[in-house]
Amino acid sequence: MKYALIALMAITGVLAGSSPAIAHHGSATFDTGKEVVVEGSVTEWVWANPHCFLKFDVTGQDGAVRNWVVETSAPPSMVARGWSRRSFKVGETVTVTVEPVKNGNPIGRLLQVKLANGQVLSASDSAEPAEGVQGSPGE
């Protein structure tokens, strides 16, 4: 009986732990297949596991500033694509191609970044630059 209870607790722990991990890596919140291209000023580059985050401000045609937050893969995956913890400096202008979230908030999955010097950093294994729609969700 004691071993059966221990086995049940172990199975429950494994199942409980695996469900959030699977949900975490889903893409249900993203508008998959849609690409938005925005230009902004870097406010922060977070180089951390399990995902890196680029934060930047975009000034709209109406003068309002939207604070974008976009995620990439973990640092080891990004290093393999030519990225580093020094890829961005606060204040530099970037043109970012994003797969936005469905609800129109300024959040998304980073697809590529074009730096002011013309260098393009891709967040995927594809060397092909992404084509996108100018603007931002909800405009």
Render pLDDT for 84-137 as a digit per residue (tens, 0 to 9). 999 999 999 999 999 999 999 999 999 999 999 999 999 986 544 444 333 433
Domain with 86 in it: what CATH number? Answer: 2.40.50.140
- With respect to residue 69, please indicate whether it lies within any of the assigned structural domains: yes
- With respect to residue 27, please indicate whether it lies within any of the assigned structural domains: no
42 near 91, Cβ under 8 Å?
yes
pLDDT of residue 77: 92
- With respect to residue 12, please indicate whether it lies within any of the assigned structural domains: no
Q: What residue numbers bound the domain in which 125 lies?
A: 36-134
pLDDT of residue 20: 43
If pLDDT is split at 50, 70 and 90, which confidence band does 33 have? confident
**pTM: predicted TM-score of the whole model, two decimal places:** 0.72
- With respect to residue 19, please indicate whether it lies within any of the assigned structural domains: no
- With respect to residue 116, please indicate whether it lies within any of the assigned structural domains: yes
Side chain identity, residue 23? A
Stated length of the chain: 139
- With respect to residue 4, please indicate whether it lies within any of the assigned structural domains: no
* Sign of the torsion angle spanned by Cα atoms 50, 105, 93, 119: positive
Number of domains observed in the structure of the chain: 1
Q: Is 51 helix (H, G, I), strand (E, B) or coil?
A: coil
56 near 40, Cβ under 8 Å?
yes
Has residue 3 got a pLDDT over 60? no
d(CA 54, CA 61) in angstroms, rounded, equals: 22
Has residue 10 got a pLDDT over 60? no
- With respect to residue 120, please indicate whether it lies within any of the assigned structural domains: yes
- With respect to residue 73, please indicate whether it lies within any of the assigned structural domains: yes
Q: What values do phi and psi take at 104, rounded to 5?
A: 85, -5
